[in-house]
Amino acid sequence: MIDIHTHLLPGVDDGSPSFDVSLAVLERFAEQGVSTLVCTPHLNAAQASQAPVVRHQELFAELQQRAPSGMTLQLGWEIMLDSPNVDLTAPELSLGHSRAVLVEFTRGGLPRGASAELRRIARAGRTPVLAHPERYFGCTLEAVREWRKLGVVIQTDASVLMGRGVPSELARDMLAEGLIDILASDNHGDSRSLASARDWLLERGGEEQAVLLTFANADSVLSDEDPLPVPPLRSGLMDRVKRIFGR
């Protein structure tokens, strides 16, 4: 598996507070089958030109040196689009050494011009990977369809698929429509993982979806290739019953 969205660079944001916590998560991920992981600390677009690149590279080098054998680490950011028209083309703002940039909006609601901003990033030669759209108040399936037509890659948080509430329902509806390109853990030094979503998909007969969502499409994006289409995976009768009765 490949996890392109984690907050395991220690002590830099609201994610992992220490190397010990990060390394424990990395060991668990390695046991579960994660071969490549991207550290994506938070960054506001308005502060992109003052991003602490050197400090993060130093921390990353130490984490990489202490990571489990056989696991590849890469460095990137999760960029909050808090200000429009910011130049995000600097190589150090990308996911690893790719053209992809992981971006997000606030949970409070999609800003006016959200689609235009994503289009602008794509036209600047970057591949916008939109983190957890299921979280954003006002997000709809129609909006997700529009963004994907603009060249936006849709990344959903793995744990949301198995949750309850509006974000989880939207995520499962997106899965049923084939609108999710990549799953990621968004781990903050906690128990979240890709493995739980992979197993959830396999239990529902989603072998092809599991491969595409937890490995192949992330590999493609990090290699500057287009993600492959993910076949729709619709919930069965028992899933709907469990959702209704909360069991």
In tens, the pLDDT along 20-33 reads 999 999 999 999 99
Q: What is the pTM of this model?
A: 0.94
Tell me what the mean pLDDT of segment 133-161 comes to: 97
pLDDT at 206: 97
- DSSP letters for the chain: -EEEEE--STTSSSS--SHHHHHHHHHHHHHHT--EEEE--EEEGGGGGG--HHHHHHHHHHHHHHSPTT-EEEE--EEE--STT-----GGGSSTTSSEEEEE--TT-PPTTHHHHHHHHHHTT-EEEEE-GGGSTT--HHHHHHHHHTTPEEEEEGGGGG--SHHHHHHHHHHHTT---EEE--BSSSS--HHHHHHHHHHTT-HHHHHIIIIIHHHHHHTT-PPPPPPP----HHHHHHHHHT-
pLDDT at 244: 46
Q: Within a 10 A sphere around the Cβ of 55, how many other Cβ atoms?
A: 11
What is the rounded end-to-end Cα distance, in angstroms, of the chain? 29
Structure token pair of residue 100: 């992809």
pLDDT at 239: 53
Q: How confident is the model at residue 18 (pLDDT cuts 50, 70, 90)?
A: very high
pLDDT more than 70, % of the chain: 95
- Of 204, 206, 207, 208, the closest CA to residue 238 belongs to 204
Tell me what the mean pLDDT of segment 210-215 comes to: 98
Tell me what the mean pLDDT of segment 31-54 comes to: 98
pLDDT at 108: 82
Q: What is the mean pLDDT of the chain?
A: 95
In tens, the pLDDT along 232-246 reads 998 654 455 444 444
pLDDT score of 14 more than 50 = yes
| Domains identified in the chain and CATH numbers | 2-245 (3.20.20.140)
- Of 93, 221, 109, the closest CA to residue 155 belongs to 221
pLDDT at 246: 45
pLDDT at 241: 43
